[in-house]
């Protein structure tokens, strides 16, 4: 069975061809990240325009690499949400047109569920497990059993990836923040700064806006202490231009220690809550997905702490952590084989929750 996956939920335009459930025949991604970098974050209009420009090329390249012709496709799986409405519309409209023209079944897929499903390409899905989703827009813990998904908790403010991105901006490290923070954190002292663990009523909820603000205050304090007469209040987050001019002057040692301390705290909070959720649901498997799970510190600590509690932690291969269409195809075929179908009236849902 040949599945074509289409992913356009944010800044990437991606198509992949999956044979059966396990064999990736092609996985093509065109990223518009370079176009957003000067703005310090994703600009939705630029993202959707890029998807529109790229989708046809990416589709043809994916088919060419897989040596597959359009009539060979048995199923089209497309990201229906959550994500940016303009980008989502490009993928869904393209998928619907293709499905109609070629008379191939169509299936709308949840992007977050697809991130977790990336783990099950060439690996068996555990009978029941806790899912940790850590991406640029979402952070959640969910319980999965027999294909049923129950949400245990999610972030009440910023997502984990968003926190990496915002802290990198505050430290003057550019966008996206995750990879650069991970890189400079290697040379920093993770104990240099301590952050208060956020308290949540639901033990499986997350909050990352407090640590971001604490870091902003530390940066302001540093600035104020070093240059008396030029108080930290000039460092407002909204004043992008002035802020980046000052922040580039932060000493490398400060940036490294702050990045290491931030990463250490976020990883610790993620790991503790995930293992508490596993213990609460009495499961021995944890499945992780989303861009932040490329982070080697998260991988190392979660694996190590999981092992100590008898929990097996499953991460997708590195090439499948960021947005891609192979994971969409994988989730699509799984649902299709369970009898799920979408109609031509399929619409996008920018806020599509997991498990629906």
The footprint of ligand KG4 (CB under 6 A) covers 10, 135-137, 161-162, 164-165, 176-179, 182, 290-292, 294-295, 322-323
DSSP state of 290: S
Say if CB 176 and CB 331 are below 8 A apart: no
**Alpha carbon distance 228, 284 (integer Å):** 55
126 binds, among ligand KG4, Zn ion, none (CB under 5 to 8 A by kind): none
Alpha helices in 121-251 (DSSP H): 160-170, 177-185, 209-226, 240-247
Of residues 288, 292, 297, the one with CA closest to residue 265: 297
Closest distance to Zn ion from the beta carbon of 71 (Å): 31
**Alpha carbon distance 142, 130 (integer Å):** 6
Phi, psi of 10 (to 5 degrees): -145, -110
Please give the structure tokens belonging to residue 57: 């090329």
Which is nearer to ligand KG4, 10 or 51 (by Cβ)?
A: 10
Which is nearer to Zn ion, 2 or 14 (by Cβ)?
A: 14
Please give the structure tokens belonging to residue 318: 């590195």
Per-residue binder mask for Zn ion (CB under 5 A), 310-349, x = binder: -------------x--------------------------
The three-state DSSP-derived secondary structure of 113-164 is HHHHHHHHCCCCCCCEEEEEEECCCCEEEEEEECCEEEEEEEECCCCHHHHH
Say if CB 149 and CB 143 are below 8 A apart: yes
Q: Is 135 in the site for Zn ion (CB under 5 A)?
A: yes
| Geometric angle at alpha carbon 83, from 265 and 26, rounded to 5° | 95
- Total residues contacting Zn ion by CB under 5 A comes to 2
137 binds, among ligand KG4, Zn ion, none (CB under 5 to 8 A by kind): ligand KG4
Q: Is 11 in the site for Zn ion (CB under 5 A)?
A: no
Of residues 258, 262, 259, the one with CA closest to residue 270: 262
Which helix (H) or strand (E) segment holds residue 286: the answer is strand 285-289
Beta bridge pairs of residue 139: 134
Closest distance to ligand KG4 from the beta carbon of 208 (Å): 11
295 binds, among ligand KG4, Zn ion, none (CB under 5 to 8 A by kind): ligand KG4
Closest distance to ligand KG4 from the beta carbon of 210 (Å): 18
**Alpha carbon distance 315, 289 (integer Å):** 7
Which is nearer to Zn ion, 285 or 323 (by Cβ)?
A: 323
Which is nearer to ligand KG4, 108 or 177 (by Cβ)?
A: 177
Closest distance to ligand KG4 from the beta carbon of 259 (Å): 11
Q: Residues 287, 291, 293, 295: what is their CA dihedral angle, to the nearest 10 degrees?
A: 180
Which is nearer to ligand KG4, 99 or 264 (by Cβ)?
A: 264
Which is nearer to ligand KG4, 10 or 78 (by Cβ)?
A: 10
Which is nearer to ligand KG4, 2 or 90 (by Cβ)?
A: 90
Closest distance to ligand KG4 from the beta carbon of 298 (Å): 7
Query: What is the sign, positive or negative, of the torsion defined by CA atoms of 68, 109, 42, 171?
Result: negative
Closest distance to Zn ion from the beta carbon of 323 (Å): 4
Which is nearer to ligand KG4, 175 or 204 (by Cβ)?
A: 175
47 binds, among ligand KG4, Zn ion, none (CB under 5 to 8 A by kind): none
> Which range, of 18-26, 100-108, 128-136, 163-171, touches Zn ion by CB under 5 A?
128-136
Residues found near Zn ion in the complex (CB under 5 A): 135, 323
């Amino acid at each position: 069975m040949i599945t074509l996956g289409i992913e356009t939920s944010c800044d990437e335009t991606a198509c992949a061809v999956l044979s059966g459930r396990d064999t990736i025949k092609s996985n093509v991604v065109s990223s518009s990240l370079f176009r957003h970098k000067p703005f310090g974050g994703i600009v939705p209009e630029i993202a959707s325009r890029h998807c529109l420009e790229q989708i046809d090329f990416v589709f043809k390249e994916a088919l060419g690499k897989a040596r597959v012709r359009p009539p060979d496709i048995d199923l089209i799986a497309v990201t229906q949400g959550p994500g940016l409405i303009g980008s989502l519309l490009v993928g869904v409209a393209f998928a619907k047109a293709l499905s109609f023209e070629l008379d191939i079944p169509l299936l709308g897929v949840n992007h977050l569920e697809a991130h977790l499903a990336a783990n099950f390409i060439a690996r068996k899905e555990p009978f029941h497990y806790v899912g940790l989703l850590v991406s640029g827009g979402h952070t959640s813990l969910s319980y999965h059993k027999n294909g049923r998904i129950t949400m245990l908790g999610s972030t009440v403010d910023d997502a984990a990836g968003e926190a990496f991105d915002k802290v990198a901006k505050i430290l003057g490290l550019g966008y996206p923040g995750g990879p650069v923070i991970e890189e400079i954190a290697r040379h920093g002292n993770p104990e240099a700064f301590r952050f208060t663990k956020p308290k949540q009523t639901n033990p499986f909820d997350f909050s990352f806006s407090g640590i971001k603000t604490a870091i902003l205050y530390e940066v302001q304090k540093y600035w104020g202490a070093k240059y008396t007469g030029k108080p930290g209040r000039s460092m407002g987050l909204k004043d992008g231009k002035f802020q980046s001019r000052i922040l580039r002057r932060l000493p490398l040692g400060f940036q490294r220690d702050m990045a290491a301390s931030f990463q250490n705290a976020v990883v610790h909070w993620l790991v503790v809550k995930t293992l508490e959720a596993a213990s609460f649901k009495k499961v021995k498997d944890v499945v992780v997905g989303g861009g932040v799970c490329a982070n080697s510190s998260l991988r190392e600590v979660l694996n190590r702490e999981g092992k100590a509690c008898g929990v097996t932690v499953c991460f997708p291969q590195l090439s499948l952590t960021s947005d891609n269409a192979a994971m969409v195809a994988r989730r699509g075929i799984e649902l299709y084989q369970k009898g799920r179908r979408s109609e031509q009236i399929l619409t996008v849902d920018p806020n599509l929750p997991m498990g629906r």
